[in-house]
Amino acid sequence: MSNHVYHQDALAIQTWIVQLRRQLHRFPEVMYEEVKTSQLVRQTLDQLGIAYQHPLAETGVLATLGNGNGPCVALRADMDALPIHEETDVSFRSEIAGKMHACGHDCHTAMLLGAARLLKEREAEIQGTVKLIFQPAEEGGAGGQRMRDEGALENPAVERIFGLHVWPQLPVGSFGSRPGVFLAAAGAVEITVHGRGGHAAMPHLTIDPVVVAAKIVTELQTIVSRELDPLDPGVVSITTIHGGEAYNVIPETVQLRGTIRALSMKTLQQMQQRVREITAAVAAAHRCEASITFPGNDYPPTVNDAQCWSVAKQLAVELTDEDHVQELPPTMGGEDFAFYTEQVPGCFVAIGVRNEEQGAIYSVHHPKFKVDEDALPLGVALHVAFAMKSLAELR
Ligand code: NI
């Protein structure tokens, strides 16, 4: 481990950071319900003497540090949990049945509070403004978009933004990211196939939506395999199929749901268009009708500014060493940090939390997802270092 000054400062408050993280972990709250989480963030900011605006985007908090005399850099954390029932063996397991911090947003919030504390101690050195964005509803609720639309990047105007995500594929003590597109554009799809139900013994008197739904699922697979440029990645995953109640009854309707992903909005929209056309045509070919919607929020791709990544990468190397900072390939995961980087240059960095001895080996969104908490002070240090370095560069 390094003797980098920000890492040393973060290690000195490690217990405090870990306590905050565990408190958040025990009481997970899902999108736009982050009431207690938001309260804990504000209480902590109050204790630190840091000013903030609240509410933005229902439960969001926007804190500000510095003398305002210079550039403005933002650091961001998401606060929401997932509707997953926790199955880990940690002592600070979720106390809310069916809800869990299975994507590590408890760690993100705790790391940003750690950064808040260190930046407050160094506030005299801040020539400009550091904004701390604590946002709700990353998981499907586009909380980042709402924070942005409610002015989180204005007054003063943010010139650079930085965010971290825990990464169970990377060992603890390491970082990774890349310039350009890092995470995918992603959206949901819902299809209802309408047929005509009846007795399963007399299929000729019905219009069977089950067979048609099965055909739609397989036909949609040709979008990626036969229509997309093989060098332009895409995903169509149908993940739920619901229809019918009894083994001897052909149902009236079948519902399909899934996700569509690509590395650009253009390809995502092209794929949505083809999902619409293929679904309608397959249904029509078999006397069914299909209704198709793309509910919720389509997330744009998360695009890292090359200069921001170069700064973050250099700082990450200083905090660890050359062998512990990787250029990662893009992934098809989605992330609403993308809404900020649509507007200002930024960088989203993966922080390693994997530790096989601790059983921290499961992917995010898994009920046994765990992190090695030794990552937290490193993340705090990178937040602080990115803010200070960027302010100096932008002056
Ligand atoms: Ni996440």
Choose the final residue of a domain: 237, 262, 293. Answer: 293
Please write down the long-range contacts of 89-93, taking CB distance under 8 Å and 24 or more positions apart: 89/359, 90/25, 90/370, 92/22, 92/25, 92/26, 93/25, 93/26
Identify whether the C-beta of residue 96 lies closer than 8 Å to the C-beta of residue 43: no
Same domain? 157 vs 118: yes
Q: Report the predicted TM-score, pTM, of the whole model to 2 decimal places.
A: 0.94
CA 117 – ligand 1 centroid, Å: 23
Pair (136, 26) in one structural domain: yes
Task: Give the Å distance between the CA of 67 and the centre of ligand 1.
Answer: 32
One domain for residues 310 and 177: yes
Query: Which pLDDT score is estimated for 2?
Result: 60
**Beta pairing class for 185-194 and 253-262:** antiparallel
Do residues 104 and 250 share a domain?
no
The CATH code of the domain that includes 192 is: 3.30.70.360
Judge if 248 and 351 occupy the same domain: no
Residues 255 and 267 in one domain: yes
> In this structure, are 274 and 306 located in the same domain?
no
- Ligand 1 centroid–CA 178 distance in Å is 18
Indicate the angle between helix axes 105-121 and 14-26, nearest 10 degrees.
150
**Per-residue model confidence (pLDDT) at position 43:** 98
Both 242 and 338 in one domain: the answer is: no
CATH number at residue 29: 3.40.630.10
Instruction: Please say which residue of 240, 262, 293 terminates a domain.
Output: 293
Ligand 1 center to 80 CA (angstroms): 9
Question: What is the 329 CA–ligand 1 centroid distance (Å)?
Answer: 18
Ligand 1 centre and the CA of 335: distance in Å? 7
195 in the same domain as 113:
no
pLDDT of amino acid 322: 96
pLDDT in tens, the chain (395 residues): 566 999 999 999 999 999 999 999 999 999 999 999 999 999 999 999 999 999 999 999 999 999 999 999 999 999 999 999 999 999 999 999 999 999 999 999 999 999 999 999 999 999 999 999 999 999 999 999 999 999 999 999 999 999 999 999 999 999 999 999 999 999 999 999 999 999 999 999 999 999 999 999 999 999 999 999 999 999 999 999 999 999 999 999 999 999 999 999 999 999 999 999 999 999 999 999 999 999 999 999 999 999 999 999 999 999 999 999 999 999 999 999 999 999 999 999 999 999 999 999 999 999 999 999 999 999 999 999 999 999 999 99
* Last residue of one domain, picked from the residues 272, 293, 314: 293
What pLDDT score does 3 carry? Answer: 64
Taking the C-alpha atoms of residue 165 and residue 112, their distance in angstroms, rounded to an integer, is 11
Q: Residues 339, 203: one domain?
A: no
Residue type at position 274: R
Distance from residue 337's CA to the centre of ligand 1 (Å): 10
Which residues constitute the domain of residue 33? 3-184+301-394
If you measure from the C-alpha of residue 254 to the centroid of ligand 1, how many angstroms do you get, rounded to a whole number? 31
Query: How far is the centre of ligand 1, averaged over its atoms, from the C-alpha of 292 (Å)?
Result: 27
Quote the ligand 1 centre to 244 CA distance (angstroms): 34
Instruction: Please tell me whether residues 11 and 115 are part of one structural domain.
Output: yes
Could you tell me if 319 and 387 lie in one domain?
Answer: yes
Domain count, the chain: 2
What is the 343 CA–ligand 1 centroid distance (Å)? 20
CA distance 156 to 154: 5
CA of 138 to the centre of ligand 1 (A): 7
